Amino acid sequence: MVGAILTQSAAWRNVEKAIANLKTAKALSPQALRHLSLSELSVLIRPCIYYNVKARKLKALADFLGEYCQDNLNKLFANSTARLRQQLLSVWGIGEETADSILLYAADKPVFVIDAYTRRIINRLGLAPDSQSYSAYQSLFMAHLPPDARLFNEYHALLVRLGKDVCHNRPLCPQCCLRDICRYLDGGS
């Protein structure tokens, strides 16, 4: 859950450094996060961009976990997917992508995560939904794949990998495994 917040607008390698700092400080539990001051927490997560704002987001998450489920994640994750998503979205600093990352990767709920890589790849393949909303992209996956958390996890991870390694803003199309079906090479975006 911490990683889902720290990865907002940040490279994963920097998130890993911040998480390592939190582990070393024994500050990865909600209770430990609540006991740190904002400035102490900011120092620990400094490898991530926007560390001061993210410290506030982590504190908001830790406060929510304490108030709502007494830091018992099993109790939290026992909620229905829709209810849990609604609860996460009510926490300051958690938007749709972060909530869905928590649902998929922490709670093991079958929710497809939409990120910048996914949008770029779907757009370039010519599969973009009519609406550019998060929910429209998510519906594209949710309507056409069986609701399976492991499948969504792997599918999303593969899209992220393709986006990081090949389908950049200036893509490496000759190296792409999807080049035969991609519309970008035909003058698409």
Neighbouring CB atoms inside 10 A of 54's CB total 25
pLDDT band with cut points at 50, 70 and 90 for residue 11: confident
pTM score, whole prediction:
0.93
Decide: 25 and 44 in contact? Cβ < 8 Å: yes
Length of the chain in residues, anyone? 189
**Burial group, residue 168, by CB count within 10 angstroms (0-12, 13-18, 19+):** exposed
Q: What is the pLDDT of residue 185?
A: 75
pLDDT above 70 covers what percent of the chain?
98
Q: What is the pLDDT of residue 189?
A: 53
Q: What is the mean pLDDT of the chain?
A: 95
- CATH superfamily, domain 2-106, is Hypothetical protein; domain 2 (1.10.340.30)
| Mean per-residue pLDDT, 109-137 | 96
Which of 154, 150, 162, 65 is CA-nearest to residue 121? 162
| Mean per-residue pLDDT, 131-158 | 97
| Signed CA dihedral, 165, 115, 133, 140: sign only | positive
112: helix, coil or strand? Answer: coil
Domain ranges of the chain: 2-106, 116-186
Architecture of domain 116-186: Orthogonal Bundle (1.10)
Question: Is the confidence at residue 124, as pLDDT, over 80?
Answer: yes
pLDDT above 90 covers what percent of the chain?
94
pLDDT digits (tens, 9 = 90+) for 66-111: 999 999 999 999 999 999 999 999 999 999 999 999 999 999 999 9
pLDDT band with cut points at 50, 70 and 90 for residue 155: very high
Question: Is the confidence at residue 188, as pLDDT, over 70?
Answer: no
